[in-house]
Each structure stands twice: as C-alpha cells, then as structure tokens.
Homo-oligomer: A and B are copies of this chain.
Amino acid sequence: MSKAIDPAALRAQFPILNREVNGKPLVYLDHAASSQKPIAVIEAQREYLMHYHANVHRGVHALSQQATDAFENARTIVQRHIHAAESCEVIWTAGATDAINLVMQTWGRDQISRGDTILLTRMEHHANIVPWQMLADEVGASVDVVEVKDDGNLDDEQLRQKLALGPKLFAFTHVSNTLGTVNDAKELTRQAKAAGIAVLIDGCQAVPHMEVDVQDLDCDFYIFSGHKAYGPTGIGVLYGKRELLESMRPWRGGGEMIDVVSLEDGTTYAGLPHKFEAGTPHISGAIALGVALNWLNGIGAEAIMDHETTLAAHARNGLRSIEGIRFIGSSASAAGVVSFVVDGTHPYDIGTLLDSQGVAVRTGHHCTQPLMERYGISGTVRASFGAYNTLHEVDTFVAGTIRAVRMLRD
C-alpha cells in the first residue's frame, strides 16, 4: 500500500500556491494543461545556471564535464522512471508534440505509404492527430479512429474490428486529457502487437499520475512532456525500443548527431541517443525534469492517483446538484479530471466567473476538437487535479461553479 498524500505538507513546496488571483487565494485546477513546479525543480534549474552551466559533450573542461554528467544522469533517471531497458532509448525532445512529430517524420515516413492506415482514437489530443493527418496527406495514407462510447470509454468491439483491418500504427493516449479516461494501455498494446501493428502511446497525462513501465506495456514508442509532470517547460521525452530507434533515420541535422561531417564524402551519424538530438539540448530543462521525476517517485504514483481520484469524485458529487449539468466522460477508471457543460451556459462564462473567484480551470476544446464533435459540444469546463490540490479547494471550486451558474441563469 502506498502512503496517502498530505497535500498541506506538499503545498509548502509550491511557491505559486501562496499567491492571490483577483484578490482571492489561487485555486489551481489546471494541472492537465500544465502542472505547477515544486521548489526543488525550480531551484535545480537555477542552481545549474548559477553554478555549472556549460555546453555538454565534447568539452574537456570541468564545467562541461559536470554539466554533461548531470545531463546524462537525468536521462538515466527518466529511463528508470519509465522502466526502459537502456538509457539510450530515452531521447530528449522539446516536448510531447515534438516527440510525436519526430516519430512521424522518421519512422512514419519510412513505414507508412500509400494506402496504409494509421489508427487513432476519437479522444486523442491534437498533438496525436495532426502529425498523422499531415503524414497521411503527404504519402496518401489514411487516418481512422476508434470511437468513444457515451461514458468516455473506447469502443472495444470496434477497436478489435479496426485492428483486424491491419493498420500500420495504432497511436493512442494512455489517459485522456479531456475525459480523464484511463485506457488499458497494456491490453490495447497486446492486441495491436499480436496483430503485428506498431504502437505509440501518448503518456502526457499518465506520467504525472501513475506508474508507467514501458517494458511491461511492450509499446514501441512512449512519449510525454516535462511541464505536465512537475518539470520545466521546453523539454519532453521520446522513448523507443532500441532496435526500432536504431533502424530509424535521423530527423534534425546538426551538431551532436553526427559522427563525421564531410562535404566531399558525405556525413555519417552518431549512435543512440545522440542521433536524434541535434544541436545544443535544453540542458537545464533535462536536469530539472530528472529532479521532478525523482520528486514524483518520492511521493509515489499510486498515492498521487488515489488522491486525485478522490478529489475528482468529491467534485462530481458536489457539482451533481447543478440542474442541467452534464459530465463529459464518466468512465469508472477516470483519472483526476472533471469535464462538464451546463445547459444554457457557455463554458467561457463559467471559466471567467471562476477566475474572478480565484479558481483557475480550463475551458474550451482542450485540443480535442474531434472529441467535442462526438459529444456535440464546442467545449467544456475542465477541472484537473494535481498532488497539491485539497478537498477544501474542490469545495471552493464547486461553490464557485454553483454561484457562477446561478448568475448566468438568473
């Protein structure tokens, strides 16, 4: 059993949570868009820039060595965190979006051709849709989706049918940023792999909330962003199976990713992971992401997930009294996300009125327009929780929403 979270103690580590917004104490319920950062992460980045910044690799001087060691150590932290077999399977990217585009432009361009199908789900974030649409357009392939049922779960039956049609790739989100649905990533991967289909998992909303083991999942690619996992902005991760990464051509060209550059004899490339890391990397971001994942580990993924689902359940209970409320997504296995619309009100109005009470929620399509279409709406109000949120904050949010709806309807 994991130790339960004490959010009060945790909160002391998040300086931003002390601030006021519109004269009210900030209640930050926009974790799914980006998490706040514990002081350890902020200080790690500052510490690096203050005391041992230098460009990594190839430097003979001590600073460069120290920076390189810290940078590569962070890679090892990521490897252990997601249980990758080797650290060279961890590629630093600028974020989740960048990581998916890397796979699309390298593996995708080589493996997907005219007539092929790329299978997605209706609940994907635009980051896991648009790159595949672009690729499909370019090579004459097509994009298909597994539909979502009313409750926000994938249509398993349809999934089986669509896998049987033999798509080249099945790319799906581990946890939905809009619905909170937690997909059974292991089972989905098993089905796809059994049919010889490559699997990419978008782990943006999973890594901050649960244990992830890429070897156990057996997926080909797994990607996530640092800034949603208590880490800094501008850094993300692509995990790929070694043989796969090795077989892929490089994407960005430049320093670091080369072996020998010659104008006359052509250029040869470096091995993993550097082959995919052209140019000076986001050194401070990688180091600070390592600290964030260690911090997450210290609390425990299970404890965080327990805490967040408790908060979400409490929020649903409170909101249920609102007449005309409709929850979007009500999967039994939902993570700490509550999305809803209220008859006769616009999400923007509710979001604005919550903001004026100090409560930060996200409103709109959450970069999942195809999912909005499915539910026949243009957007939702979404509250999403992190380790640092409290039941008291949920109460403030619920009371604020009730007040907002009353004002809008009266």
Could you tell me if A260 and B369 are in contact, using CB atoms closer than 8 angstroms?
yes
Residue in B98, B284, B360 whose CB lies within 8 Å of A232: B284
Q: Is A34 on the interface with B (CB-CB < 8 A)?
A: yes
Residues of B within 8 A of A258 (CB): 126, 130
Q: How far is the CB of A108 from chain B (nearest CB, A)?
A: 11
B51 contacts A130, CB within 8 Å? Answer: no
The answer to whether the Cβ of A282 comes within 8 Å of any Cβ in the partner chain is: yes
Which listed residue, B254, B285, B352, B369, touches A262 by the CB 8 Å rule? B369
Q: Which residues of B contact A235 (CB under 8 A)?
A: 234, 282
Is A64 engaged at the interface, CB distance under 8 Å to the other chain?
yes
Contact of A34 among B55, B260, B263 (CB under 8 A): B55
Residue from A28, A33, A104 whose CB has the most chain B CB atoms within 10 Å: A33
CB of A152 within 8 Å of the partner chain: no
In the bound assembly, the distance between CA atoms of A126 and B30 in angstroms comes to 41
Tell me the A298-339 residues at the B interface (CB within 8 Å): none
Q: Does A355 contact B (CB under 8 A)?
A: yes
Given contacts A94-B279, A282-B94, contact A130 B34 (CB under 8 A): no
Other-chain residue from B42, B53, B104, B253 in contact with A134 (beta carbon distance below 8 A): B253
A254 with B101: in contact, given A34-B54, A370-B263 (CB under 8 Å)?
yes
Is A190 in the interface zone, CB < 8 Å from B?
A: no
With the chains together, A370 CA to B37 CA distance in Å?
44
CB pair A97 B254 closer than 8 Å: yes
Most buried by B among A16, A51, A251, A373: A16
Q: A278 with B61: in contact, given A101-B253, A252-B101, A284-B232 (CB under 8 Å)?
A: no
Contact between chains at B61 and A361 (CB < 8 Å): yes
Tell me whether A52 is interfacial, beta carbon within 8 Å.
yes
Q: Residue on B with the closest CB to A102?
A: B252
Q: Do A253 and B34 touch across chains, with their CB atoms under 8 A apart?
A: no
A 26-51 to B, binary, CB cutoff 8 A, 1 in contact else 0: 10101001101101011101100111
- In the complex the two chains form, is A127's CB within 8 Å of B53's CB? no
Does chain B have a CB within 8 A of A351? yes
Q: Mark A355-367, 1 if CB is under 8 A from B, else 0.
A: 1000111111001
Bound state CA distance, A203 and B41, in angstroms?
32
> Known interface pairs A61-B361, A63-B21, A96-B279. Does A46 touch B51 (Cβ–Cβ under 8 Å)?
no
Instruction: Assess whether B42 is in contact with A55, with CB atoms less than 8 Å apart.
Output: no
| Closest chain B CB from A218 CB (angstroms) | 26
On chain B, the residues within 8 Å of A250 by CB distance are: 134
Closest chain B CB from A383 CB (angstroms): 11
Q: A62-B360, A125-B255, A227-B280 are in contact. List 20 more A-B contacts (CB 8 A).
A: A26-B63, A30-B61, A43-B46, A46-B46, A54-B360, A58-B362, A58-B364, A61-B361, A97-B253, A97-B279, A101-B278, A126-B255, A126-B258, A130-B258, A133-B266, A143-B263, A233-B280, A233-B284, A262-B369, A262-B373
> 26 A-B contacts, Cβ less than 8 Å apart?
A22-B62, A34-B54, A34-B280, A45-B46, A46-B46, A54-B360, A60-B363, A61-B360, A62-B355, A101-B253, A101-B254, A104-B253, A127-B278, A131-B252, A133-B267, A227-B280, A233-B280, A233-B282, A234-B234, A234-B235, A235-B282, A254-B367, A255-B367, A260-B369, A261-B369, A263-B370
